[in-house]
Amino acid sequence: MDGIHDFGGMEGFGPPAVEIDEPVFHHDWERRAFGITMASFVLGVSNGGQFRHSIERMDAEHYLGSRYYEHWLTGVATRLVETGRVTIEELEAGAGGGFPLSRPVASAGVTVPEPGTDVTVGDEVRVRRITTRGHTRCPRYVRGRRGTVVRIDPPSSLPDLEAHGDARRSEPIATVRFDGRELWGEGAERAAVHVDLWLSYLERVT
């Protein structure tokens, strides 16, 4: 989905706020939210794709206006409700007020790309225009852009499928090197940006 989480290349956020000698957790509730989420993985509440998508489905203003571990809390609570382990009524009763969850998975438009073709290091590729309303790990800023394959990683489960059901498809992951100008135009900074992309996200440039 073209969600608020997909930050690559967005403008208007200003400089990063760097804190000297920053603690691992800033509040005790962050410790607990982290631990609850880690425990939820052990208990099989979510796989990686399901958990990431539960955060991507947060209300965009809530996502932007909340601290990082509030994202985790919202995602894990959403998954616990969706898997029937707890109810929103129980959560709100315990919290003594509202307990905002993420929006539901899109009821239509959740698509999975067709399998891609094999690529090898040195190949020129173009990123497909992925348009799913579901989960994907193909960032918006590289879609439709051309780059060169510089590394192939071992097959791994395609997140677009894994986040939405029991079906699995394992594919190699290609590291694609993009020139900054290909991504951002002629005035771009001189830089190479590498993105790790499942083969289904790619097509070979002939």
Partner 1 sequence: MSDDHHHHPRTQSPIEQRVHALEELLVDKGIVTHEMIDEFVARYEDDIGPLNGARVVARAWTDPDYRDRLLADGTAAIAELGYGGPEGDHMIVVENTDEVHNLVVCTLCSCYPWPVLGLPPDWYKSAPYRSRAVREPRALLAEMGCDLPDEVEVRVWDSSAEARYLVLPQRPAGTDALGEDELVALVTRDAMIGVAR
Amino acid residing at 47: N
Tell me: does residue 85 bind partner 1 (CB under 8 A): yes
Residue 139 near residue 181, CB atoms below 8 Å: no
- The H or E element containing residue 73 is helix 68-82
Choice from 1, 54, 57, 70 touching partner 1 (CB under 8 A): 70
- Site map for partner 1, 126-165, x if CB under 8 A? -----------xxx-x---------x-xx-x---------
Minimum distance between the CB of residue 42 and partner 1, rounded to whole angstroms? Answer: 8
Minimum distance between the CB of residue 88 and partner 1, rounded to whole angstroms? Answer: 11
Residue 139 near residue 6, CB atoms below 8 Å: yes
Tell me: does residue 66 bind partner 1 (CB under 8 A): yes
Tell me: does residue 94 bind partner 1 (CB under 8 A): yes
SS3 content of the chain, % helix, strand, coil (to 5): 35, 15, 50
Residue 56 near residue 164, CB atoms below 8 Å: no
Minimum distance between the CB of residue 11 and partner 1, rounded to whole angstroms? Answer: 7
Residue 135 near residue 157, CB atoms below 8 Å: no
Site for partner 1 in 162-181 (CB under 8 A): 173, 175, 180
Q: What is the spatial distance between Cα 156 and Cα 171, in angstroms, rounded to a whole number? A: 5
Minimum distance between the CB of residue 131 and partner 1, rounded to whole angstroms? Answer: 16
Tokens of 128: 């497909």
Site for partner 1 in 35-54 (CB under 8 A): 35-36, 38-40, 42-43, 52
Residue nearer to partner 1 on the CB measure, 17 or 108: 17
Minimum distance between the CB of residue 156 and partner 1, rounded to whole angstroms? Answer: 5
Residue identified by tokens 């001189």 is: 190
